[in-house]
Amino acid sequence: MDFVKKRRIALSSLFFLSGLCFASWATRIPEIQLKFSLSEGELGALLLGMPFGSLIALPLAGYVVHRFGSRVVLLSSGLCYGLFLVFIGLSDSLYSLSWIVVVFGMLGNIMNIALNTHAIEIEDIYKRNILGSFHGLWSLAGFTGAGIGGLTIYFGLPAFQHFLIVAAIVLGIVLTSQGYIIKERKARGGSGMVLRKPDKLLLRVGLVGFFGMMCEGCMFDWSGVYFKKVVEIHPSYVATGYVAFMAAMASGRFMSDAIINRIGKILTLRISGVMIGVGLLLAVIFPYVVTGVMGFILVGFGTAAVIPLSYSIAGRSKVFSPGVALSLVATISFFGFLLGPPLIGFIGELFNLRVSFTIIAVMGLCITLLMSIRKEVFEEIK
């Protein structure tokens, strides 16, 4: 096996590490709520710490990756990500837990920018799209993390011991992969300045990511509620739509690279937007189990390539260095993830969830629109 393939495997394991840590935290949220006797509102406030930490870390991530290189940032943030997971398990006060969750969110996003910056370096060596497969492993790690979490809960292990096991896995992955995560080549021209507005290309790609993550956030937080209240499925099967969406998104990411290499990035994003819109409208117009599942599968396949492709395009900016360009696009995109779920709830309160999901369907179609108008903006995209 040549060194480039070993680099790809090593980076793949680090993408898996990132998804494993995030999923491990998610499986223990109910236990944390019980441990600190949190109301629904108090738990919601605690959970806001992670997106808040992620958001404030984005400009910092772009700077440190540009300044120190993705290798140093990636390996150090990966180790710290696992370590702070253990700190969450050790927390004995809500005050300390709140700050740890914020830092955990910061580390997750710093690692995310470093991961994707390094992935673009390897993608350039391969001279074809491979970023989707990396993101597919992140999604696959979500299923694995949920499985490990379920097993530890079944055997009665407390969160601290569960997180200690995950931290040991993290340490093993970092130690075995660090020899193949080498310092990237000198960054292609571009500015390392973080506090600058994006150019036309990055702004357009950021908006694509914004609508894509808005749709993802909708599915993550509201798919179960939709199946319960609109589809009116048996309570035992309310997660059916979510599982269908996640399975389609994970498998779609593994398939997306071959599709992109065949039909191109722009056409792939146009089709993705149509699939999201059609899938959500199918679930809205025909709110039944079979059509709902089919619609959510379409949404999963539609969202699969949006963020990996947005990052791939951003990382080749001719104006900014890869780390900074990724940070700018990720910042714009992340607002979609933050705004989407509350928007669903607000509109659902005023009207109903079918109206909410219709509006999110329009947001998905906006991806197709953005990639179809003023095509000269995308002249540098291959």
Q: What is the DSSP string of 275-343?
A: HHHHHHHHHHHS-SHHHHHHHHHHHHHHHHTHHHHHHHHHTT-SSB-HHHHHHHHHHHHHHHHHHHHHH
- Does 94 score more than 60 pLDDT? yes
- Does 173 score more than 90 pLDDT? yes
Identify the domain containing residue 333 by its residue range.
200-373
pLDDT mean over 295-306: 96
Q: State the Cα–Cα distance between residues 252 and 247, nearest whole angstrom.
A: 8
Q: In terms of domains, do 243 and 168 share one?
A: no
pLDDT mean over 129-142: 89
Q: Is residue 378 part of a domain?
A: no
Q: In terms of domains, do 153 and 294 share one?
A: no
**Planar angle of CA 207, 341, 152, nearest 5 degrees:** 115
Domain end call among 125, 152, 180: 180
- Does 131 score more than 70 pLDDT? yes
Does residue 199 sit in helix, strand or coil?
coil
Q: Is residue 379 part of a domain?
A: no
pLDDT mean over 58-73: 86
Confidence of residue 307 (pLDDT cuts 50, 70, 90): very high
Q: Is residue 335 part of a domain?
A: yes
Report how many domains make up the chain. 2
Q: In terms of domains, do 7 and 35 share one?
A: yes
Q: In terms of domains, do 217 and 365 share one?
A: yes
pLDDT mean over 66-78: 91
What pLDDT sits at residue 355? Answer: 94
What pLDDT sits at residue 233? Answer: 85
Confidence of residue 193 (pLDDT cuts 50, 70, 90): very low
Q: State the Cα–Cα distance between residues 123 and 273, nearest whole angstrom.
A: 24
Which of 114, 118, 141 shows the shortest CA–CA distance to 7?
118
The CATH code of the domain that includes 340 is 1.20.1250.20
Q: State the Cα–Cα distance between residues 272 and 305, nearest whole angstrom.
A: 7
Which residues, in sequence order, are bridge partners of residue 320?
Answer: 191
Q: Is residue 333 part of a domain?
A: yes
What is the 3-state composition of the chain as percent helix, strand, coil, each rounded to the nearest 5? 80, 0, 15
Q: Is residue 185 part of a domain?
A: no
Q: In terms of domains, do 244 and 96 share one?
A: no
Q: In terms of domains, do 112 and 206 share one?
A: no
Q: In terms of domains, do 24 and 60 share one?
A: yes
pLDDT mean over 101-108: 93
- Does 209 score more than 80 pLDDT? yes
Q: In terms of domains, do 171 and 204 share one?
A: no
Q: State the Cα–Cα distance between residues 362 and 101, nearest whole angstrom.
A: 33
pLDDT mean over 65-74: 89
Domain end call among 150, 180, 210: 180
What pLDDT sits at residue 382? Answer: 58
Q: Which two tokens stand for residue 379?
A: 């002249």
pLDDT mean over 205-230: 89
Q: Is residue 194 part of a domain?
A: no
Give the range among 74-78, 152-156, 162-166 with minimum mean pLDDT: 152-156
- Does 188 score more than 70 pLDDT? no
Q: State the Cα–Cα distance between residues 79 and 61, nearest whole angstrom.
A: 16
What pLDDT sits at residue 43? Answer: 82
**Tokens 């680099």 belong to residue:** 7
Domain end call among 180, 210, 231: 180
38-45 contacts, C-beta under 8 A, 24 or more apart: 38/94
Q: In terms of domains, do 215 and 168 share one?
A: no
Q: In terms of domains, do 44 and 83 share one?
A: yes
Inter-CA distances, 356 with 32, 48, 93, 334, 343, Å: 31, 22, 37, 20, 8
Q: In terms of domains, do 167 and 255 share one?
A: no
Q: In terms of domains, do 207 and 79 share one?
A: no
User: 234-259: per-residue pLDDT in tens?
Assistant: 877 887 888 889 889 999 999 999 99
User: 10-54: per-residue pLDDT in tens?
Assistant: 999 999 999 999 888 888 888 888 889 888 678 877 888 888 888
Residues 292, 241 contacting (CB under 8 angstroms): yes
* Single-letter residue type at 306: V
Q: Is residue 381 part of a domain?
A: no
Give the range among 41-50, 113-122, 266-275, 356-365 with minimum mean pLDDT: 41-50
Percent of residues, the chain, with pLDDT higher than 70: 94
Q: Is residue 359 part of a domain?
A: yes
